[in-house]
Amino acid sequence: MIYLIHRRDVIKSVPTRWKEQYPKWYEDTTRQRQTQALDKLDLNTCSPEDIKAIIGNDSWTENECHECKRNVDTIIFIGDEPDYDAKYVQICADCLGMAHQLMTQKDSVE
């Protein structure tokens, strides 16, 4: 499958992913505070920095290109749904453009 992932999609999925990773948050006051703070965010408008301020790092809102490693607003996802042995790549517009250029050049040589 091929689809676009916008950073807003990543931001909107943070509370769900957080609760999957920390399902017993109620046993830990820090996790409880973080979960409650995430639930209070307006996911349509909050920034990655708002989430970083709650969680303490950038990793939950990263949208990283697998080729150039840049953290970008939009990436194209190509492959199987991410899983233990899934094959997939997340690629930014610039890298996708370079890949397309290579394909076009190859066609023109043949």
Of residues 33 and 100, the one with the C-beta less far from Zn ion:
100
Beta 2-6 vs 88-91: how paired, if at all?
A: unpaired
Of 68, 89, 99, 102, the one binding Zn ion by CB under 5 A: 68
Does residue 80 contact residue 88 with C-beta atoms inside 8 Å?
yes
Amino acid at 95: C
Of 22, 31, 43, 67, the one binding Zn ion by CB under 5 A: 67
Of 10, 38, 51, 92, the one binding Zn ion by CB under 5 A: 92
Of residues 61 and 63, the one with the C-beta less far from Zn ion:
63
Q: How far lies 100's CA from each of 35, 75, 92, 94, 104, in Å? A: 42, 15, 12, 10, 6
Does 75 participate in binding Zn ion (rule CB under 5 A)? no
Rule CB under 5 A: which residues touch Zn ion?
A: 65, 67-68, 92, 95
